[in-house]
Amino acid sequence: MALGLSEKEQLVLRKFRIAIEEALGRA
């Protein structure tokens, strides 16, 4: 995931993706 993102941005994207995956898993 080397898109020139800062560590903070990568952390936010990771949390966002996990939240989406959890939401899809519950559906």
User: Percentage of the chain surpassing pLDDT 70?
Assistant: 89
CB 14 within 8 A of CB 22: no
Q: What value does the mean pLDDT take over residues 12-24?
A: 97
Domain coordinates of the chain in residue numbers?
1-27
Q: pLDDT class for 8, splitting at 50, 70, 90?
A: very high
The predicted pLDDT at position 12 comes to 96
Query: In the Cβ-directed half-sphere of 20, how many Cα atoms lie within 13 Å?
Result: 6
Residue for token pair 């560590």: 7
Query: In the Cβ-directed half-sphere of 23, how many Cα atoms lie within 13 Å?
Result: 6
Q: What value does the mean pLDDT take over residues 6-27?
A: 94
C-alpha 10/C-alpha 17 separation (Å) is 10
